[in-house]
Structure 1
């Protein structure tokens, strides 16, 4: 009898721990939901094709009628449904708001029945940078809580943008966790799952989320801004001496200030940035953040700051200390020569005689797979680094050729940069359309970038229209072009 009693006493703490954990998770049953997202997908190699895609992800109720999730897979949305309690009825949802750069979205449900019994969760304003956290999601009618270790905060390019943003790094087994899963510390949210990585995961931290949601409550949410310049460490004594700046242990050197077309940066090459928004910048480009600890300076571009905000900077220029204001440019995919994303718009194309013309975009390059930087044609992938100029805002390519007697001998060429058609410089698809209206002596002459092979092709202008109709019919393509005009 006594040995059995001792065994029960030994098991009691474990049982109490399980009950406590179960009780702790039960509060999330009225906050955590599953989203079923149906969206339009595109094949960027054959941009006229469409396919419906369905994904499931998590969301969390944050006020009386709003559900917070990430922007992942919410683009080109056709339908969203919401399920509460991990099982049962699916309710029709509606996208309220989305910011792709911040990777955040809000969804609602207009059916009062859905909101019965639901309880908003809270977002932590200051998060722990170590210790244990849990990632929650519904799985087979029960809340699955994945234990993770908080490693650190770090700055890196966001999943849905080209700008650097704050992230929370988690260590542990992240297999099976998904987009929008809340990361919790006890009863409050410290982040939303953004992506898995080797040995762990990255989350959008809750202080950043709070700042975005608070800004959205204002009438005109400006969107995120960013620091549009490149810098290097200010740690070489000879470099500092040449800049007439000695006896300093902080600051970074601007090596390339950038600006949007038609604008000029307030920063100049060889400026030394000593402070940003009152924070002293260390020689490695970091600063001491009151929430995140030592973190890279790019975080200050979105730390309670937005596009159009004027951020005070202390700089060293031409041997003098100066105070300037840096206006944060808005993060916009349209401003890039090679756009990173094409959210909520169909890919553009123009087909002429089986020759398929497209703007060069990252979604097109991603057709070569996750390792597209190495697998895509080098000359195209390298252009991702290009900065738009007044003479060259964008790039048009001949992406492929749909075989037809009209293009016999050219059917194997693809992924070539188009420079001129019939003597007209090509920057946008509208230029292709216009140029094809003006053949030269009965021929269309298409010239490609230097180094591409062939360097140019010559086509009979008289047969182009018939060949195009024949190609559309043969390959089951409804329209010979889709162009977003006026962009």
Structure 2
């Protein structure tokens, strides 16, 4: 028999024995199938929603919780769970959720659900080439699936559910729709939670790593989710030789140039534009913005910020005017607190306001991805930070056709900057200004001077008829009705 074939058979046998050992330890009994009925908001028609059914996977962990993905239970209206080897479904509820990190904990009230189950425990962050087994209920069948693979790489990656970037584990084990929320095990312990895949690739899947899971569970111990902190810094790489000479940096110094400190960041007043960030929590920041988190393994410097809980402090080393300094920052804010456009929203209906058939809404990432209209300009706004006088973008979402809006029906996804010449800070203030207008005309204007003019009295007179025509029950969302 050829030596290559012998080696291959030995490897297969080793993998088989590893998987069998997991099964004998009762791993499969802790794997759960999740049935979700969700109420999905329609961001183009924010007064409407639809129902959607889907399935996902999860794992029973200590404390009587089921660990899964946030996107498996996002916008849920009704949840059921089913244990491996059983046909009965049990009603479940969401106990805690982190849409940032795409993680959720579920609870089942009936004690019978947990009888005879040994909860899975957590391991540590796996190494590249470490073998893993992924359990779940993917498409292609209704019974439990187990796929075997190895860790391919570990680095920061954009989480599809939230759009934020965190540490992620890339694996080559087959991951398909329905696997989401299932555990990835190594040596019988959870090292990650299946999160997403690259659809046009061959066996490239991603896990939420176990350190993110532990952070989430620790965060929730007080019954309140605080999230992962953001420093509120805009930075630039320092790889260009001319730039390095300009700032007087020799070859022994690396870091990132600070080009923006958000006004409501906890670092406002501590750091300045032009400072150079050289270390985070004692870990050297490279010129490309990465840090070495393990020997010869690098990822974004935010990794060491994510290791802390909200409300804790972190030390940053900087260079200012060619002098070394150290500052201590309070971790008080998430990205949502500082970006002009909120990160992707879940578990809530969108805000809106209808005025004479003109539909207004705050700009969210959900709204941007719901249409191709004005995508370039709106995506650019989504990358901007809040300012003292501007914390939210308001758009004219659409114009409902009527005799009073003729000529304006092409306005859609149009950012508004002024009401009767006055700027506003956010959607709530925009709404208040619209309601407070006493003059005959309301003049809406963007930064380019383009205007939409509404006859106030005509709009109020025809409001009820327009709402009835388009089958809109309320002229504003519940948050404004309160």
Fold equivalence (TM over 0.5): yes
The 5-angstrom pairing of residues 14-163 of structure 1 reads: 21-22=19-20, 24-25=22-23, 27-85=26-84, 87-138=86-137, 140=141, 142-161=143-162, 163=164
1:261–1:389 Cα contact (<8 Å) kept = no
Q: Distance in 1 between matches of 2:18 and 2:313?
A: 49
Q: Distance in 1 between matches of 2:288 and 2:346?
A: 35
* Secondary structure, counterpart of 1:425 in structure 2: coil
Shift in Å at residue 225 of structure 1?
Answer: 0.7
The 5-angstrom pairing of residues 210-359 of structure 1 reads: 210-217=214-221, 222-260=226-264, 264-290=268-294, 293-303=297-307, 305-359=308-362
2:419–2:433 Cα contact (<8 Å) kept = no
Distance 1:311 1:75, change over 3 A: same
1:234–1:251 Cα contact (<8 Å) kept = yes
2:128–2:150 Cα contact (<8 Å) kept = no
Stretches of structure 2 that go unaligned for 5 or more consecutive residues are: 1-8
CA-to-aligned-CA distance 1:99-147 (integer Å, 9 cap, x gap): 2222221111110111111111111124122143222113645321123
Shift in Å at residue 485 of structure 1?
Answer: 4.8
Aligned to 2:3: none
Aligned to 1:425: 423
Shift in Å at residue 49 of structure 1?
Answer: 0.4
Aligned to 1:196: 197
* Secondary structure, counterpart of 1:481 in structure 2: coil
Q: Distance in 1 between matches of 2:402 and 2:225?
A: 51
Q: Distance in 2 between matches of 1:431 and 1:272?
A: 38
Stretches of structure 1 that go unaligned for 5 or more consecutive residues are: 1-10
Shift in Å at residue 67 of structure 1?
Answer: 0.9
Aligned to 2:182: 181
Who wins on radius of gyration, i.e. which is larger? 1
Aligned to 1:3: none
Aligned to 1:447: 444
Q: Distance in 2 between matches of 1:12 and 1:307?
A: 48
Distance 1:142 1:292, change over 3 A: farther
1:261–1:388 Cα contact (<8 Å) kept = no
Aligned to 1:7: none
* Secondary structure, counterpart of 2:190 in structure 1: strand
Q: What TM-score do you get using the length of structure 2 for normalisation?
A: 0.87
2:219–2:225 Cα contact (<8 Å) kept = yes
- The alignment covers a number of residue pairs equal to 467
Q: What TM-score do you get using the length of structure 1 for normalisation?
A: 0.86
CA-to-aligned-CA distance 1:263-316 (integer Å, 9 cap, x gap): 71522223222222122223333222248932221211112x122322112222
Q: Distance in 2 between matches of 1:291 and 1:36?
A: 42
Q: CA RMSD of the aligned region, Å?
A: 3.0
Shift in Å at residue 170 of structure 1?
Answer: 1.5
